[in-house]
Amino acid sequence: MTVTGDFAILAPVPLEHLQSGKGIAEKQGFVAFGSRKWELFRNVEEMRGGTPVRVLIYPSDEHLPAKVSFKVCWGGWYIGCEESNSGEHPLGMAHRPPTTEQYAADNQGYWAVFWHVKGLFELPKAQHLPISAIKTVKGGWRKNAPPRGPELVAVPSTIQFPVQP
């Protein structure tokens, strides 16, 4: 398997969506998370040349400001994206975490793009990594401003990814 090894995607996702999305990824082949950063995903599509990209995910909470002490606790493989259809995923709820149904805006008009993650997994506690320890890449996030959405980062050597499922 060929993977893009020089960059990864760092993204915040609410823990409840990670937990319910894991089952969707296993059953449906991938889980779709929403973002308003359509330009970033267009760039990723150009850069990745069709190969999977590592995803580093830290659980977020919409009610708390992001902090550089937040930790990457989940991983997966980015395999593509779909621009939204009036804010909905083009395939409806088939690939969305079931927990998103309780938030009206989550599936109706809020997201510009849905990014697809295959093989979503929780990292062993020994591999949890504060986002402040993740190196930036050109055009990626600024260390003094924790990301509130997906950003490009360098692939950390301390996180072991299983072979893509």
Terminal-residue alpha carbon distance, the chain: 10
Per-residue pLDDT of 107-158, as tens digits, reads 777 889 999 999 999 999 999 998 888 887 765 666 666 677 899 998 888 8
Work out whether the CA dihedral 160, 18, 78, 27 comes out positive or negative: positive
Kindly report the pTM of this predicted structure: 0.89
The domains of the chain, with CATH numbers, are 10-135 (3.10.590)
Per-residue pLDDT of 43-85, as tens digits, reads 999 999 999 999 999 998 766 666 767 899 999 999 999 988 7
Q: Distance between CA atoms of 24 and 120, rounded to whole angstroms? A: 9
